[in-house]
Amino acid sequence: MFAVNTSILIKTFVAVFVLADAVGNIPILLVLTKGMEADQRNKVINKAILVAIAVLLLFAFGGKFILSYLDVSFASLRVAGGLLLLLIALQMLRGDLETPVIDQERDVAITPLALPLLAGPGTLTTVMLLMSESPSPHVSVIVGILAAMFVTWLLLRLANNIDKWIGTEGEVIITQLLGFLLAALAIEIGSVGIKELFF
């Protein structure tokens, strides 16, 4: 009843870990939590991971029903995720994220860290597909998601050490570079959704 399918578990772990891109998201985390103390940043990381896990499990078990009930397609989900990332990228390029996020009325743990960076459209789609690969893969998918998010959490906690290494000038360079890369990624995600919607 609770047998673990090793193949599904490994597929889930690899897919969720790669798509969450913990290493690639460390500089973004540093920018979004600029001005925070180490313990405050760790709280943001903890909350982001918990929210990402909750959303991944929600979509794994009920994603198809939710999207079907709301009449929302995966393509629309990708377009929305791309637009959200593009808005964040524009803020980074304009320097709007230079002020400490702690002083702003926003919760970066939920958006954009948990959604869509750690649990984006691609990750949500993947866990739903893996859940339907075999008759009873639920335990394997759950364990794979939890394991991938745990490793991601460990890597994101290293952000505090990296913050000390790169300094202020390094943060400025990273912010501008990531702004361009994030904009490109946003357009790529959105364009895939647009193709699926209209072509």
* Domain membership flag for residue 45: yes
* Domain membership flag for residue 129: yes
* Domain membership flag for residue 1: no
What are the pLDDT digits (tens) for 60-96? 998 878 888 888 887 888 888 889 888 878 887 887 7
pLDDT of 1 above 70: no
Q: How confident is the model at residue 179 (pLDDT cuts 50, 70, 90)?
A: confident
- Distance CA(158)–CA(25), nearest Å, equals 11
Domain holding 133, by residue range, is: 6-198
What are the pLDDT digits (tens) for 117-149? 999 888 888 888 788 766 666 899 999 999 999
* Domain membership flag for residue 97: yes
Query: What domain count does the chain have?
Result: 1
pLDDT over 70 for what percent of the chain?
89
* Domain membership flag for residue 96: yes
